[in-house]
């Protein structure tokens, strides 16, 4: 029998995917900005998508009501990540990048911050997910299936996507230098 995750609890797995997408979009926008004006529609489209991803994460997956249902440590890690997204990504985008202002250096710094936030959140939230997995396994008397723990595959996929994004960014960085 498959367990259904309580929808009133924050979805930290989904948030990892939103963060990975945010980092990838910002890295792509920064790469494109090397050959284009910051007002370019493709760069601004990616910045708009970053804002949409952040909105979905904050307003749906990590609403205040859902965060309050998390265990204390996961709640602390998630709140720190949200604060970092607001101050190091959203606020800096609002300061001009999304209006075509700012420099490529500004955009690259925001992309770098997004990658760091993504990697830090993965590292900090993983113990919570492993604890949850252990409880699921113990709760089913040692019997579990992939369908019962689909969220672990989301974590693995998010980690792989984040790592691949980092590799691509490093490769692009090496080409520029």
Nearest to 114 by CA among 54, 60, 73: 54
pLDDT of residue 4: 44
Torsion 170-112-49-57 (CA) sign: positive
CA torsion, ordered 15, 48, 37, 33, to nearest 10 deg: 10
Please state the domain extents for the chain. Answer: 12-136+149-176
Q: Residue 70 — pLDDT band, cuts 50, 70, 90?
A: confident
- Report how far apart, in Å, the C-alpha atoms of 79 and of each of 18, 56, 73, 92, 140 are: 15, 15, 10, 19, 31
Q: What is the pTM of this model?
A: 0.69
> For 101-135, how does the pLDDT look when each residue is reduced to its tens digit (9 = 90+)?
788 899 999 999 999 999 999 999 888 767 666 66
Q: Residue 11 — pLDDT band, cuts 50, 70, 90?
A: confident
> For 121-130, how does the pLDDT look when each residue is reduced to its tens digit (9 = 90+)?
999 988 876 7
């Amino acid at each position: 029998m498959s367990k259904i995750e309580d929808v009133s609890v924050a979805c930290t797995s989904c948030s990892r995917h939103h963060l990975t997408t945010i980092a990838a979009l910002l890295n792509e926008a920064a790469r494109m900005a090397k050959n284009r004006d910051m007002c370019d529609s493709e760069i601004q489209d990616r910045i708009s998508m970053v804002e949409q991803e952040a909105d979905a994460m904050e307003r749906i997956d990590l609403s205040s009501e859902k965060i309050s249902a998390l265990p204390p440590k996961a709640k602390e890690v998630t709140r720190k990540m949200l604060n970092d997204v607001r101050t190091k990504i959203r606020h800096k985008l609002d300061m001009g990048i999304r209006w075509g202002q700012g420099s490529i250096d500004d955009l690259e710094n925001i992309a770098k911050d997004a990658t760091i936030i993504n990697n830090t959140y993965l590292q900090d939230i993983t113990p919570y997910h492993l604890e949850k997995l252990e409880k699921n396994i113990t709760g089913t008397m040692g019997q579990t299936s992939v369908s019962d723990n689909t969220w672990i595959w989301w974590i693995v996929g998010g980690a792989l996507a984040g790592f691949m994004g980092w590799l691509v960014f490093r490769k692009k960085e090496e080409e520029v230098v």
